[in-house]
Amino acid sequence: MIKKVSPQKTSYGGMMYSHDFQLWYTYLKRRIEKGWRPEELSFLVGRLDHAYLDFEKMHQVRSFLTQESILLDRIYMSSCIEPMEFHRERYEVTEERLVRLHIEEDEVRWHYSIEIPWQFVSQKKSSIALQFEEWKAEKDIQLESDAMLHVRQKIEGLLDLEFFVHGAAPWQLFRKVKETGQVHLQIYPRHLKNVLYGLIQQNRLVVRNVEGRYSFYPVDRKEENAKFN
């Protein structure tokens, strides 16, 4: 008899203004639609693995949006915000309010449920979903291998063209490698990250922190040789 694993339930809360919630909601929805994990977004914006997850957990939302919203729009190639219209009383002032996110995880998916303190204008309510399903990726060894090979070939070509000489940001590199021309083969940020860190292990690339973001550079062979002379 197969033992069924009980779902794991977690909840997070954070204070935010209604406009910040619109942006937070927009980026959550975009990420789920892309099938990317939070750590993949952290990689694309050149931050530590936990940076984007902290944002989704509603930790310092306004600060994160101030720093990252322009870059996130570049990554998604869209600056459209999910339309929302909240009911407000005439005397009501704009203030931060508590938003809650409940996540239930089982073996195949994450279920997200959002609690908000605002009321939608009635005619706008039907288009705003406050629950999402995110399905866990099925592991296909052949597709993963094909994806890694595709990215590796693209990165090798960029190295030959000296694309990395002045530093290359993860989001720029992802734009260069994501198109495959094959319907069944989809490239995810994790594929790029694995290839880049493989090249770092081979001493062909280095990663540097430039103004708080990670960028990738080719190994300076002259500098390397000087160390041993």
* Helices of type H across the chain: 18-34, 38-44, 50-56, 61-76, 141-160, 170-177, 189-201, 221-227
Task: Classify the C-alpha dihedral 219-220-222-227 as positive or negative.
Answer: negative
Domain definitions of the chain by residue range: 8-135, 141-227
How far is 177 from 153, CA to CA, in rounded Å? 9
How far is 112 from 133, CA to CA, in rounded Å? 6
- The mean per-residue pLDDT over the stretch 47-53 comes to 96
Q: 227 or 111: whose pLDDT is higher?
A: 111
Note the pLDDT tens digit of each residue in 171-204: 999 999 999 999 899 999 999 999 999 999 999 9
When pLDDT is cut at 50, 70 and 90, the band that residue 147 belongs to is very high
3-state secondary structure of 33: helix
Give 92's contacts (C-beta < 8 A, 6+ positions apart).
none
3-state secondary structure of 68: helix
Facing residues of 34 across strands?
A: none
Asked if 112 and 28 count as a contact pair (C-beta separation under 8 A), the reply is yes
Note the pLDDT tens digit of each residue in 66-85: 999 999 999 999 999 999 98
Architecture of domain 141-227: Orthogonal Bundle (1.10)
Q: What are phi and psi of 209, to 5 degrees?
A: -90, 110
Task: With residue 114 as reference, give the H or E element that holds it.
Answer: strand 109-115
Q: What are phi and psi of 49, to 5 degrees?
A: -55, -35
In this prediction, what percent of the chain has a pLDDT beyond 70?
A: 90
Tokens of 227: 């160390």
Q: How many residues does the chain have?
A: 229
Q: 81 or 229: whose pLDDT is higher?
A: 81
Count of alpha carbons within 13 Å of 176, Cβ hemisphere only?
A: 19
Task: Classify the C-alpha dihedral 64-70-75-76 as positive or negative.
Answer: positive
Tokens of 61: 């939302």
Asked if 173 and 189 count as a contact pair (C-beta separation under 8 A), the reply is no
Give me the residue label for tokens 């291998």.
145
Q: What's the whole-number average pLDDT of the chain? A: 92
